Structure 1
């Protein structure tokens, strides 16, 4: 991939598709327009950063069916991230709908290694996978600054992340990280919250020396921070965005084509 030939990809986050009341038509039409726009933009793939559905306890299955039917019209591959609203449905159901062997995973695109994180691995909506995760959950819930709707990376995923970062360093690959929750305190607020163990994860990313950018959702207004060589960009809710990736930068544009962030990797 040359500097003058960007890889264009689409980004959607926090669509919160509902099938209840007057929001049904507006929500489905908005998502349909977004898919049409991303198809017309010639995006090579789509990153769906979580909270695709509203997560109604009674109608979450209908929401998921409606959302995936619309996304099925996107002409290229979709990389899904699971958000907190999604987990009104069983994790297995979501993985099947999103064709995910695991809720956290790696892929390669544009000469970069992409790491998709599962920010709800340790949360009140999932049973702890290990004793360490159970103890961690109990500790997180004692801290007033941790909203109940957020979550954390567990012990298995942190070990996986460390291996992926180490392998990227050995192969001299640069990394882009995807997570539903913001990873930097300057990119969210107290009401929305962020990844519970954001400081620990951020330290892992910084110490690796290979991470260039982290893309997140959850905080609906969107935000940006830069720390120790890593860009932390939170995309605004409910609009389709595009990313244009080259070896030296990532340009994030909104649905009108205006530049929101120009992330330089030099």
Structure 2
């Protein structure tokens, strides 16, 4: 709330508040161009409730399926165009119980009850359960089912883009492209990741953050980053979207803005992504998971950064999913349970 208040004060003092207010398409009664569902960090496992890594929060492992069922029923009623699942679909505890495939099948069956296309982002728990090769051959490779224009940029990078409606583009990023948990130990990206972490984190267990406070805490094993190859591809996608005058929403498991998440959940090279988002007029929103507390920030260029609250730490009598109504001049997030409503005006300096 403090960050939002400061931004509001700056806005008021700038004189921008006195400019004429143009009515939005939604206020004029216009129908949305399309709608889509959003959900993050289900982390299903057929085990008793437990606690998070720091032993400070309760986790409801079995209940994730019921909350997903609530979401898919609502999305079906709302006739959403597609659903974005932002990673950590099942929990890492499944691996030690030899239940990874069974758990995945259980959750996928719930998603299949919806007629909407589901696009899956990969998080750290995907890699706790499966190797990258297995994921590419699994139902979690939604690029393989999305059709023309959604091919992966490389055989070993899970990032792709597609257009849900004319004038709009969605981009899914691989935030574990450079990481320890998403790469084979003999790979160059794994070796680079080890070197990077050891430069910033001297703990014997690299899942524990560095002793120092602040943004350095992001250098932990359960995070990752984006390779130069992926960033170059991302820049090309956004450049083309600029030329086509499209509105772009980006999806990732890891957040990339420090004000939209706890530093311990931030992507390693978040600055590179932020710089790219600000330099392209087509980008309007960045959506992520990973931080189960959620978060929100609108950056200096007007891009909205939304971190979705996680299903795994949502009480059984609540919910944690949203529906996004996309208009020509804004998006409206209608939240359920822990997720609050938000009106996401497109950046004024980025009108196309």
TM-score, normalised to structure 1's length?
Answer: 0.90
Decide which of 325, 328, 331 is 1:247's aligned counterpart.
Answer: 328
SS of equivalent to 1:254: strand
Higher strand share: 1
The alignment yields a C-alpha RMSD, in angstroms, of 2.3
Decide which of 64, 70, 76 is 1:39's aligned counterpart.
Answer: 76
Decide which of 269, 275, 290 is 1:197's aligned counterpart.
Answer: 269
> Residue 133 of structure 1: CA displacement?
7.3
Decide which of 282, 305, 315 is 1:210's aligned counterpart.
Answer: 282
Unpaired stretches in structure 2, ≥5 consecutive residues: 1-24, 50-59, 145-151, 153-157, 201-209, 211-216, 312-319
| Bigger RCO (CA 8 Å, 6+ sep) | 1
| Equivalent residue runs for 1:52-131 within 5 Å | 52-56=89-93, 57-58=95-96, 59-88=99-128, 89-95=130-136, 96-98=138-140, 99-101=142-144, 102=152, 103-110=158-165, 111-127=167-183, 131=188
Moved more, 123-132 or 41-50: 123-132
Distance 2:259 2:226 in 1: 20
> Residue 217 of structure 1: CA displacement?
1.0
Is contact 2:84-2:120 (8 Å) kept? yes
Q: Which residue of 2 aligns with 1:153?
A: 226
> Residue 264 of structure 1: CA displacement?
0.3
> Residue 97 of structure 1: CA displacement?
1.5
Moved more, 96-105 or 150-159: 96-105
Is contact 2:178-2:189 (8 Å) kept? no
The alignment covers a number of residue pairs equal to 264
Unpaired stretches in structure 1, ≥5 consecutive residues: none
Distance 2:249 2:61 in 1: 34
